[in-house]
Structure 1
Amino acid sequence: MATPMLECLALAAIVCGLDPGACLDHLRSRSPACDLIPAYEDLLEENVALALLARDSIPWASSVPESIFLRYVLPARVSQEPLVAWRPEFMRYTLPIALSSPDLETAALRIGAWCDSICDYRPTQARDQSPLVTWSSGIGRCEELTVFYIDALRSAGIPCRQAYTPWWTVCDDNHAWTEVWTPRGWKFGESAARVDSLGTPPWFAHNASRAGLIVAIAPDSVPGALAFRGGVSVLNVTENYADFAVLRIADDSTAVAVNVVNWGAFRTLATLRPPVREVRLGGGVYMLSWGWPLEMAVVTLAPGDTLVFDCTVPSPLPDYCEMNKEVGDL
């Protein structure tokens, strides 16, 4: 049964060609179980209603394809941050910015500048804080700033998604950032970077060009995804940032983890679980692991290579191996 919130915006939704009830069903079917408790019902309905209101109010927002809107504007959360009613708070500021912008990319840049005027980078805790806490405190680490930027963009009808590298291969730690959908394709937009155009090479561009794996998150089931779990697809977008090689697993049944060294230990970039049998990786040296008792092998990939690895063939570890080698040194 439709609530007053959805009913009052039904006309606006008809104008932009989307049904509020269908959008709510879409959101619920792709939300984690923890978001579907009765306490969040009103929040999810408000999220849908305001997303449709922005789409109907901003002249260029209705040109965003329906599939892109449902996947990259409608979601009520970005990552593992607490679920809060962020959309009405952001819209008070982002909607006027979007309405005064001639196109989506200009609006994204202006909203990015607004975000940068409020928040700056500073390490916080391991668990993501909500975007409203980031707003009130004025600080956040990279993923929290990304959540803040994505929520700000989505509140103005701008499709966007989180991208990240699980672990750098040439230095310690990892990083997350925002990708913005435009009619000309996806462009990255870094938080706290103060750039003049989307796609401007960010501070981490050199590291990204040498990354082992870069992924983007889609809250939906997307064909060809590297992984799908919890209603979320992990998309391999490494080729948009770095020259890559292809690692292919020969057998059809073994789960194989691809590992690198980071913070003095082996860290998993991705696990290839059947039916996923190949992955695009940046050039580098990788430790593969599989089975129990655990088996391991070291492989070297240069950009342009295709390596077919057979887990059934014994491959003893070398006595000595340099894992974090530059692509030019391979």
Structure 2
Amino acid sequence: MKQVLWILLAFVLLCACEEKHFMTDPDYRRMVEQDFQKKKEVLEGNPGNLFAVFDSPMSVEEREALMFLYAYSPLIDLSFSGGDFLLKHVRWAFQAREAMPWGKDIPEDIFRHFVLPVRGGKENLDTARIVFYKELKERVAACESMEKAALEVNHWCHEHVIYKPTNARTRSPLATMLTAYGRCGEESIFTLAALRAVGIPARQIYTPRWAHCDDNHAWIEVWVDGEWKYLGACEPEPRLNIAWFTLPVQRAMYMESEVFGKYNGQEEIVYVNESGSGVNVTSHYTRTVPTVVQVIDENGQPVENAKVEYKIFNYGEFYPVVTLYS
């Protein structure tokens, strides 16, 4: 009898010590592991041993999160920033999830794609997550809700950055904070970094061309209590889903978000490549209807992988706002 009790006790202790997965879906986890191995093969024999960080002590959850970042990060991020940099960001993202009241309510896939990633667009990487968390943690912890916290973060962003057109490549969040100005792309990357720093899921939204004028625009959506809502980056309003572009966006032809990694959300996925996914969010802002285009050859047979471009007349040319393949 004692032997049976000891076996049961050992089993209970083993279960208690088993660490939880960062990616609980085994099929998704297997896909990420395969993409990670592909990235490892590409970089095999690199002089700096870019994968040495995986020999460091870390939890199962941290290891899987780091593997996810490695699998879908551009090669330049791994080469210039390195594994220690990414592991540090993983740990600060987890710290924000534990510290913030809303952290436990964020679904796994939303956290994975919209809080954890370091990169928001095509900016240089920096340690903004750490700096912004220290700046904002006390300020947002006092907010009554996740939505009020998002609005408070945007107020903080407005205190530090104002709009000013620039022609250079999008700066990193800390560089934008240093100059205290930026165009919409830089303001949205700055705001995105601040929101993610305190565990609020955020993504950049982009319309390649407006329908009412020769220009484009970028802004932010935040995931609040199960719903995506928008805000003008560094342009605080008393509530979400209101901005200077609320009316113009209803006439826009197409809005998209580039998502880090392979995303299986409910929105329309317009493309998936080695580093991320393109999500059509047009229906969040205006009325839409499905459009089906069939490409056929001279014999009336469907053509596979034919390039189809949707264009809008802007800046004196027909500009492709989205490209799809049959």
Give the TM-score range, shorter chain.
Answer: 0.7 to 0.9
CA contact (8 A) 2:53 2:84 kept: no
Deviation at 1:231, TM superposition (A): 1.5
- Normalised to the residue count of structure 1, the TM-score between the two structures is 0.76
Q: What amino acid sits opposite 2:293 in the alignment? A: I
The 5 Å alignment of 1:126-141 reads: 126-141=168-183
Specify whether residues 6 and 169 from structure 1 end up closer, same or farther in structure 2 by C-alpha distance, changes over 3 A only: farther
Q: What amino acid sits opposite 1:33 in the alignment? A: L
Distance 2:149 2:55 in 1: 31
- Asked whether 1:107 is paired with 2:149, we answer yes
The 5 Å alignment of 1:144-293 reads: 144-199=186-241, 201-223=242-264, 224-251=268-295, 252-253=303-304, 254-274=306-326
Specify whether residues 25 and 38 from structure 1 end up closer, same or farther in structure 2 by C-alpha distance, changes over 3 A only: same
Structure 2 runs not aligned, ≥5 long:
1-51, 296-302
Superposition CA RMSD, Å: 1.9
Higher alpha-carbon deviation: 52-61 or 206-215: 52-61
Distance 1:79 1:52 in 2: 21
Local SS of the residue matching 2:109: helix
- Asked whether 1:75 is paired with 2:127, we answer no
Specify whether residues 6 and 116 from structure 1 end up closer, same or farther in structure 2 by C-alpha distance, changes over 3 A only: farther
Residue 133 of structure 2 is matched in structure 1 by 91
Specify whether residues 271 and 6 from structure 1 end up closer, same or farther in structure 2 by C-alpha distance, changes over 3 A only: same
Specify whether residues 101 and 32 from structure 1 end up closer, same or farther in structure 2 by C-alpha distance, changes over 3 A only: same
CA contact (8 A) 2:258 2:279 kept: yes
Deviation at 1:4, TM superposition (A): 11
Q: What amino acid sits opposite 1:66 in the alignment? A: E
Distance 2:240 2:87 in 1: 32
Q: What amino acid sits opposite 2:248 in the alignment? A: N
CA contact (8 A) 2:191 2:234 kept: no
- Normalised to the residue count of structure 2, the TM-score between the two structures is 0.76
Residue 315 of structure 1 is matched in structure 2 by none
Specify whether residues 19 and 233 from structure 1 end up closer, same or farther in structure 2 by C-alpha distance, changes over 3 A only: same
Residue 54 of structure 1 is matched in structure 2 by 96
Local SS of the residue matching 2:70: helix
Identity of aligned residues (%): 33
More helix by share: 2
- Asked whether 1:29 is paired with 2:81, we answer no
Distance 2:221 2:288 in 1: 20
Deviation at 1:2, TM superposition (A): 6.3
CA contact (8 A) 2:126 2:172 kept: yes
Distance 2:57 2:231 in 1: 32
Distance 1:271 1:38 in 2: 31
CA contact (8 A) 1:5 1:49 kept: no
Q: What amino acid sits opposite 1:116 in the alignment? A: H
Residue 277 of structure 1 is matched in structure 2 by none
CA contact (8 A) 1:6 1:49 kept: no
Local SS of the residue matching 1:259: strand
Q: What amino acid sits opposite 1:226 in the alignment? A: V
